[in-house]
Amino acid sequence: MAIAHTLAPIVDLVFPPRCPLCGDAIGAQSGLCGSCWSELAIPGEPACSLCHRPFAEDAASGLTCAPCMANPPRHDGIAAGTLYNEASRKLVLAFKHGNRIALAPLMARLMSAKLKAVDENWIVAPVPLHRWRLWRRGYNQAALLAQEVARLRSSRLCVDLLQRRKATPTLGGLGQKARARALSGAIACNPRHSGIVRDANVVVVDDVLTSGATSDACVAALKRAGARKVVIACFARVLDESLPHA
């Protein structure tokens, strides 16, 4: 870190800091311009007591949302850095498919801010990629975020705590039952780490939470292995009904 701090002025001279969304000049390599910051939708309170789905500002605290009442979640909360909108979508696409891995610290800071109860006693683990997808992409974006979150929260990082045993199709467009079939038996705890999972508190990290099918499979695997609490942390959560409307 000391070397990076020392070399920062040289890096800034050769590669002037630019906002990764709009390209405007900014003061540091790891941020956004003020205008683009304002375009991010940050979830707040009040929120569902189980899944932290944001409610309207005038809602009472301690309420449970309708989806959680209908189907109580196995997880112990969702910590989302942002709600999925056009600004967060651009960041995710640049990070996940544009090889902009330098965005990981910025994205993880927003996630870490929602994980105030997580400390050195927690384990941080990414949603796993199948080895063939990892080979094609070259990196697991969830693992990069998990590394930064673990550093920010002083937690234990375990990048292979979860394993994806079989390749799964893209879940977009599939119904709930089809997603469940696709993920059946796909994700499991790594037997090499069975000793650290029992009675542990775990943060499962991903870039985007859409239907929750993949993260639910991770939670189920960890709970079967004896984890006490499992919290899902994501950079962007798809909740269109919670976004402000013009």
3-state class (DSSP) for residue 105: helix
What's the mean pLDDT in 207-235? 95
Among all chains, which residue has been given the structure tokens 């941020």?
31
Q: How far is CA 74 from CA 128, 168, 217, in A?
A: 19, 22, 10
Share of the chain above pLDDT 90, in %: 60
Q: How far is 213 from 95, CA to CA, in rounded Å?
A: 22
Model confidence pLDDT, tens digit, residues 43-96:
998 999 999 999 988 888 889 999 999 999 999 999 999 999 999 999 999 999
pLDDT at residue number 246: 46
Share of the chain above pLDDT 70, in %: 87
pLDDT for residue 13 is more than 50: no
pLDDT band at 14 (very low <50, low <70, confident <90, very high): very low
Model confidence pLDDT, tens digit, residues 107-152:
999 999 999 899 999 999 999 988 877 888 889 999 999 999 999 9
pLDDT at residue number 76: 96
pLDDT at residue number 25: 84
- CATH of span 43-242: 3.40.50.2020
pLDDT for residue 178 is more than 60: yes
pLDDT at residue number 28: 67
pLDDT at residue number 40: 95
Domain ranges of the chain: 1-39, 43-242
pLDDT at residue number 106: 94
pLDDT for residue 207 is more than 50: yes
pLDDT at residue number 3: 45
Can you state the percent helix, strand and coil of the chain, rounding each to 5?
A: 40, 15, 45
- Residue in 44, 77, 75, 45 with CA at minimum distance from that of residue 61: 45
What's the mean pLDDT in 17-34? 80
Q: How far is 231 from 189, CA to CA, in rounded Å?
A: 16
Side chain identity at residue 138, one-letter code: G
CB contact at 8 A, 139 and 182: no
pLDDT at residue number 29: 62
3-state class (DSSP) for residue 229: strand
